[in-house]
Structure 1
């Protein structure tokens, strides 16, 4: 099934919401008991401004375990000028959260504080506010993600060890086919990538997000991280922090319980 950008982002959101069912019973507390209780809202709305744009972010204060498979992800249009490449902004035949050929821990990907953020241009005043777009991301992600990419618009950095480094910043940024430059000896091509292991001993990967925008937007960096590359109009993927390559075929991932 082919998915456009907003359907894909919505599908990931539904998968997150449905991946960790829970139940709770409402209890009435006295004033004295309430005084001894501290807590944090499950969903937090925050507003900010940066580079002349306004941002509204809804963050779920939750740690989630996810196993999910997405196929034939097509984000962006096909009819772009030839000098920027052909095809969709992002052409991802397969994206998997988790793998079924390893340990029990590898069956699931750990995600913390997923969020959705809307971008507005209020330069003409609140009455004429324009929606520039949105992005979906995770403040932390750890685990194995199966991934095949035919073309990429975005900023991605993956350490392939002896096989070399995949760095989309060496390409055009938009609709990059992942080919290595002639004569390159330390380059990992997109065609060699079967996925990524996110996170390391220092912690989870902290900069995964996908945006859908009508104009370029400079997002702020995650806490403790440098400012990311400017996201371009259309679909854009950002994923550079603490990534190690899974080289070769995309690993299998059966549905949970199978």
Structure 2
């Protein structure tokens, strides 16, 4: 991992922690006055024990609704390749037609469907056996829900997609490299890992560029999309077992960049190969389902 990544984390933490400096005389506050004050801390700091690492998580007590577009992004670039590379990355989208259903409500054409993020956090992992050396850090949300669109050429991490083989069998999607080797590091394809996949010939395998929009979240019993606590991007010097904010799961992230992208979607494998998953409308002017 490049040292710049840790520098970015330090700058972010510094910006979160700074406060204006003023000249003022501090006066004690009486118990009666304190009793009249109610509220919630803007930032919560937790120390979390782990098996191989110790963790410090800083959570902001804010909720965010956003729709944002990024033209080009590359993270974890070395001479050997790029951990994550995507063009036209977007969070959130715009309803293309009237009556679009999402998160339990209907949207009219042209209405913004925000990406929802509750309690963003930054978390540090340190190794107590090496003098609390920084082993990695990640940025995520206690709860997240919404669309993620991109034209991705290299992906490191996990995409929680399910794939239907057309015969009633549903599989957890597997990431592959161009040689059909299953990998969670700098993958370029996605498919079904049942021994028949052949990415070069489009057998149970498709380029990641075919997957232009995903819905991040968990499926509710009524078919709507609920929040997930496992959406994050991590930067690791070594393998780190990250715990979900609610403590329900542990996700192992390898060295380098790791993006955990949980989704409630199930996609037909043949459709993914031949047609792909259409891109949602991510710009105010609709440029079509195959924007790029």
TM over 0.5: yes
CA distance, structure 2, for counterparts of residue 214 and residue 63 of structure 1: 30
Residue matched to 2:261 = 239
* TM-score normalised over the length of structure 2: 0.64
Partner of 1:17: none
> Which sits farther off after the overlay, 195-204 or 115-124?
195-204
1:22 is matched with which residue? none
Shift of 1:198: 2.3
1:89 aligned partner: 83
Gaps of 5+ in 2: 14-28, 97-106, 177-181, 192-196, 268-275, 286-292
Q: Within the alignment, does 1:197 sit opposite 2:215 as a pair?
A: yes
> Which residue of the partner structure matches residue 46 of structure 1?
46
State the TM-score, normalized to the length of structure 1: 0.72
Change (3 A) 1:53 1:77: same
Residues 224 and 123 from structure 1, CA distance in 2 versus in 1: closer, same or farther, beyond 3 angstroms?
closer
Structure 1 residue ranges without an equivalent (≥5): 14-28, 81-86
Match among 124, 139, 142 for residue 142 of structure 2? 139
Q: Secondary structure at the match of 2:183?
A: coil
Q: Distance in 2 between matches of 1:9 and 1:212?
A: 10
Alpha-carbon offset, residue 186 of structure 1: 6.2
Higher strand proportion (structure 1 or 2): 2
Q: Secondary structure of 1:252's partner? A: coil
Distance 2:10 2:283 in 1: 21
How far did 1:167 drift? 2.1
Supply the distance in 1 between the matched residues of 2:70 and 2:228 (Cα, whole angstroms): 21
For the pair 1:207 / 2:230, whether they are aligned, the reply is yes
Alpha-carbon offset, residue 240 of structure 1: 2.0
Q: Deviations over 1:92-150 (max 9, x none)?
A: 1122112134346643211111101112122133xxx3112210001111222222211
Report which of the two structures shows the higher radius of gyration computed on alpha carbons: 2
Structure 1 equivalent of residue 133 of structure 2: 130
| Cα RMSD (Å) | 3.7
Larger displacement relative to structure 2 (70-79 or 89-98): 70-79
Give the secondary-structure state (helix, strand or coil) at the position aligned to 2:209: helix
